[in-house]
């Protein structure tokens, strides 16, 4: 009579496998950036989110924020004038969290490659923005659902919470596949 040997090895091998998988899953992904620090100044939140997404101060250097906050009367074709001391207070918050002042990891990333002598006045004109979007069809920014590069939250679904990671992006009107492949359906 032949007696089947119990699978003694199976249990330990399975345990090792499960442990290894759990360890891999727990390791922070090299790709994931994590969220920007929260904006803690209620004046900034109130005054800078009426017309568009509340942009993160860590995305531009101090010189850019000084230029933007010093010219609110002609703000990208809009009058966004603020009374003093509100304007000064909001400028100070942006400057103290700017990409070349803040120590946050996100700030360091947005500072890389920026020409501080000729600071951009748009986040969408920073080297990091360009690097991260240069493989996209430029037409994705001008569809009626998006409108312009400045409308980050049209694609970055968690941008309000300061999260821009790749796995939270969905380009409206496109089929978004892994590895950054986006297809415009013909139907």
Instruction: Give the residue with the Cβ less far from ligand HEC, 4 or 118.
Output: 118
Nearest to 169 by CA among 156, 182, 187: 156
**In the complex, which residues of this chain contact ligand HEC (CB under 6 A)?**
33, 47-48, 50-52, 55, 59, 68, 75-78, 80, 90, 122-124, 129, 132-133, 136, 140-141, 146, 148-152, 154-156, 164-166, 169, 171, 180
Shortest distance (Å) from residue 80 CB to ligand HEC: 4
Beta bridge partners of 183: 175
Beta bridge partners of 78: 75
Shortest distance (Å) from residue 144 CB to ligand HEC: 12
Cα gap 24→29, rounded to integer Å: 9
Shortest distance (Å) from residue 169 CB to ligand HEC: 4
Instruction: Give the residue with the Cβ less far from ligand HEC, 7 or 134.
Output: 134
Instruction: Give the residue with the Cβ less far from ligand HEC, 11 or 167.
Output: 167
Give helix 86-96 / helix 62-69 axis angle, nearest 10°.
160
Q: Which helix (H) or strand (E) holds 176?
A: strand 175-177
């Amino acid at each position: 009579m032949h007696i089947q040997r119990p699978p003694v090895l199976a249990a330990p091998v399975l345990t090792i496998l499960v442990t290894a998988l759990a360890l891999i899953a727990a390791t922070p992904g090299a790709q994931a950036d994590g969220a920007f620090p929260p904006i803690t100044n209620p004046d900034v939140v109130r005054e800078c989110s009426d017309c568009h997404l509340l942009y993160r101060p860590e995305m531009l250097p101090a010189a850019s924020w000084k230029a933007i906050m010093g010219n609110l009367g002609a703000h990208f074709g809009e009058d966004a004038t603020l009374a003093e001391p509100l304007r000064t207070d909001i400028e100070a918050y942006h400057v103290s969290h700017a990409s070349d002042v803040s120590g946050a990891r996100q700030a360091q990333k947005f500072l890389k490659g920026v020409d501080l002598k000729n600071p951009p006045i748009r986040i969408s004109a920073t080297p990091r923005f360009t690097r991260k979007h240069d493989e996209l069809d430029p037409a994705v920014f001008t569809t009626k659902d998006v409108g312009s590069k400045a409308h980050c939250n049209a694609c970055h679904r968690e941008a309000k919470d300061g999260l821009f990671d790749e796995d939270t992006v969905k380009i409206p009107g496109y089929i978004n596949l892994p590895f950054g492949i986006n297809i415009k359906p013909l139907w």
